Chains A and B, each alone.
Chain A
Amino acid sequence: MLTFVIRRTLWTVVVMFVITVVVFFIFFKTPGVDPARAIAGRSPTPQQLAEIRVQFGLNRPLYVQYARMMKSIFIDRNLVSYSDQGELVIPEIFSAAPATLSLVFGASLIWIVTAIGMGAAAAKLRGTIYDPILMILALIGISCPVFWLGQVVNLITQGGLHRSVFSWLPALGYTSFATSPVKWFEGLIFPWITLSILYIGLYARVLRANLLEVQSEDYIRTARAKGLSEQRVLLRHTLRTSMITFVSLFGLDFGALVGGGAILTEVVFGIHGVGFLTYEALINLDLATLMAVVIFGAFFIVLANALVDIGYAWLDPRVRPT
């Protein structure tokens, strides 16, 4: 198991290196993309462009450019935004990260608990009317686009009912936990719910299908024949094997969301996280910020993937290398 963890970690480093190279080429070396032009602003003279190329090292060999870029991202952390001269990109991402992490952690907690409850209930109530009702609810949750759902939630909580039922709710935006835990919670409660609804639906359906599949396995019959209680059979035998798919899905989704995948939720609710930063960089075509955000996101996905693989091996001994 330990060698597996070490090997998996080393592999993660390799993957991250490859990602930085690929991202660098996509943003700076794709034909037609000229960073100098992006930096220079509207209608620059050729002379200005040449100056910028020298200033930013764009006339140096490729590997030097790559090395300089990586150095300014990872070591010096002084990569400068192209659209907003003087703004340092890396500190900006790091100051945006807590908002995103708060949003995603809270939402994932909600969706895991609710999805396990819903999926287990639906599997347990199979054959009754409640199973299809739960599954249709899940399907509706999956089908709601998050930008629409978020707007509707805002319309209700910030608009129509803001004077009565939701008068306690602060205005849109993120308050850090350190500033005020209560405000932090109040500001995030609806974004959490909105973000988690899609995943609740998805995970509940996946879990239900897996539970039903595992329930008819021979080893579940063995567990009953051993005299175990129904509860123990469910918790220790059925759920554990059913969670294998659940965990791998979760790792990927969590990584993607932390890496900026919650962009729609963040924009709709005005939470200045990594997704919001991406959104702004996209609007301004800010190549430096975009690249940093993409690398940041990719790192989280790769990291989450590695954790999933390790968790997977912990859950299922059959995939552990011997």
Chain B
Amino acid sequence: MTLPLLDIRDLKVTFRTDDGLVRAVDGVSLTLGEGETLGIVGESGSGKSVTMMSVMRLITDPNAKFEGEVLYKGTNLMALPQDRIRSIRGSGISMIFQDPMTSLNPVYKVGWQIEEQIREHEKISKRAARQRAIDLLTAVGIPNASERVDAYPHEFSGGMRQRVMIAMAVSCNPDVLIADEPTTALDVTIQAQILNLIKKLKDDFGTAVVLITHDMGVVADMADRIAVMYAGRIVEQGTQRELFYDPQHPYTWGLLGSIARLDRPRPRRLAAIPGLPPSLMNLPAGCSFAERCAYRFGRCGEERPDLLDRGSGHLDACFLSTQEKQQIRNPTIHPELVEEKP
């Protein structure tokens, strides 16, 4: 097996606060192969953004403590000095953020901001960088790019600004593109356009993508593999087919069950997972999801389930046996989907 492009090993991120330690990421291990798309799904505060921000070493909070390793092409990013990590940021791994309205500097022209990144990483003339910025803007679908390159961010709409962000992120042909909820702040029609754009760029440039989202619909469309995070841990991880057609963790069932569906009669109420995620300050001794889980039993409250391989690389962290899950799931979770299973 070839070396994975990005290999996160047992990453833990802890924040010291006035009220005590907050463990935002609690032993996350993930790999990303070349050209692969990995979806990370979870609700707000589950640690998905913190995980990827830690990979980029973008968390500047002096109260944050990091443990574990992040191997990028075999180099441990967590141990690199600042100037080495800088040369990877933006050229090896780049990132798109959630809110395009605030992610671009309002006082510089968009072209200038793209050129700035290119010229930081490559020895290239001003003219060439500018030409490349125009080409990139054209590639992300900005009409009349040779003029718009001299426009300021406030002269663009939200969707267009996200396109600019994407152009900037791919400007140095990164191996990995981390998209942190790239469509959350956009309206639905624009969402699809942006996702298609990311997909197209990924195919054109062979970039591996990490897609962070809380929207199962987004990963269903894009991801090759999916990791589901809950309270700082991965609770289930598998290929997109496995996750959608053979989900193993009750939390994943809950997420899938709460998607509004167009192919069925409309339910009176959309299904939801009862309760709230636990406070990261004092996590329960057992499974963090136990409190909200309809299928918990004695052991769930005492021991923490490990993320275990159920064969073929499909991992989940739940004490229920495969047979038990099958029994619970068959009548409750999308029976027709199970039949569709190839």
Query: Chain A residues in contact with chain B, CB under 8 A?
Result: 127, 217-219, 221-230, 232, 236-237, 240-241, 315-318
Instruction: List 26 interface pairs A-B (beta carbons < 8 Å), by A numbering.
Output: A127-B62, A218-B99, A219-B105, A219-B106, A222-B168, A224-B58, A225-B56, A225-B58, A225-B89, A225-B97, A226-B89, A226-B90, A226-B94, A227-B121, A228-B116, A228-B120, A230-B82, A237-B105, A240-B107, A241-B105, A241-B106, A316-B107, A317-B106, A317-B107, A317-B154, A318-B152
Q: Are A217 and B102 in contact (CB under 8 A)?
A: yes
Contact with A along B9-53 (1 / 0, CB 8 A): 000000000000000000000000000000000000000000000
CB-CB under 8 A from A316, the residues of chain B are: 106-107
When C-beta atoms are compared, the residue in chain B nearest to A238 turns out to be B105
Closest beta carbon of chain B to A129's beta carbon, Å: 14
Interface size of B as a range? 20 to 34
**Of A225, A230, A237, A241, which one neighbours B95 at CB under 8 angstroms?**
A225
Within 8 A of A (CB), among B93-132: 94-95, 97, 99, 102-107, 109, 116-117, 120-121
Q: Are A318 and B104 in contact (CB under 8 A)?
A: no
Q: Are A227 and B86 in contact (CB under 8 A)?
A: yes
Q: Is B88 positioned at the interface, with any CB of A under 8 Å from its CB?
A: yes
CB-CB under 8 A from A222, the residues of chain B are: 97, 103-105, 165, 168
CB-CB under 8 A from B239, the residues of chain A are: none
Q: Is B193 positioned at the interface, with any CB of A under 8 Å from its CB?
A: no
CB-CB under 8 A from A317, the residues of chain B are: 106-107, 109, 152, 154
Closest beta carbon of chain A to B102's beta carbon, Å: 4
Q: Are B117 and A226 in contact (CB under 8 A)?
A: yes
CB-CB under 8 A from B60, the residues of chain A are: 224
Closest beta carbon of chain B to A95's beta carbon, Å: 42
Closest beta carbon of chain B to A264's beta carbon, Å: 37
Q: Is B183 positioned at the interface, with any CB of A under 8 Å from its CB?
A: no
Q: Within the assembled complex, what's the spacing in Å between the Cα atoms of A227 and B89?
A: 5
Closest beta carbon of chain B to A214's beta carbon, Å: 10
When C-beta atoms are compared, the residue in chain A nearest to B117 turns out to be A226
**Of A219, A221, A230, A236, which one neighbours B58 at CB under 8 angstroms?**
A221
When C-beta atoms are compared, the residue in chain B nearest to A241 turns out to be B107
When C-beta atoms are compared, the residue in chain B nearest to A222 turns out to be B103
Q: Are A219 and B103 in contact (CB under 8 A)?
A: yes
When C-beta atoms are compared, the residue in chain A nearest to B105 turns out to be A219
Q: Is B91 positioned at the interface, with any CB of A under 8 Å from its CB?
A: yes
Q: Within the assembled complex, what's the spacing in Å between the Cα atoms of A236 and B108?
A: 10
CB-CB under 8 A from B168, the residues of chain A are: 222, 226
When C-beta atoms are compared, the residue in chain B nearest to A127 turns out to be B62
When C-beta atoms are compared, the residue in chain A nearest to B88 turns out to be A227
- The 6 A-B pairs of least Cβ separation, nearest first, read A227-B90, A227-B89, A218-B102, A226-B117, A219-B105, A226-B90
Q: Is B87 positioned at the interface, with any CB of A under 8 Å from its CB?
A: yes
Q: Within the assembled complex, what's the spacing in Å between the Cα atoms of A224 and B62?
A: 16
Closest beta carbon of chain B to A225's beta carbon, Å: 5
CB-CB under 8 A from B105, the residues of chain A are: 219, 222-223, 237, 241
**Of A221, A227, A229, which one neighbours B91 at CB under 8 angstroms?**
A227
When C-beta atoms are compared, the residue in chain B nearest to A214 turns out to be B105
**Of B99, B102, B104, B117, which one neighbours A227 at CB under 8 angstroms?**
B117
Q: Within the assembled complex, what's the spacing in Å between the Cα atoms of A221 and B87?
A: 16
When C-beta atoms are compared, the residue in chain B nearest to A228 turns out to be B120
Q: Within the assembled complex, what's the spacing in Å between the Cα atoms of A318 and B151?
A: 11
CB-CB under 8 A from A226, the residues of chain B are: 89-90, 94, 116-117, 120, 168
Contact A229 to B86, CB < 8 A, known contacts A218-B99, A222-B97, A317-B154: yes
Contact with A along B202-218 (1 / 0, CB 8 A): 00000000000000000
Additional 11 contacts, C-beta under 8 A, given A227-B91, A227-B117, A236-B116: A218-B97, A219-B105, A224-B60, A225-B94, A225-B95, A225-B97, A227-B87, A229-B86, A241-B105, A317-B154, A318-B107
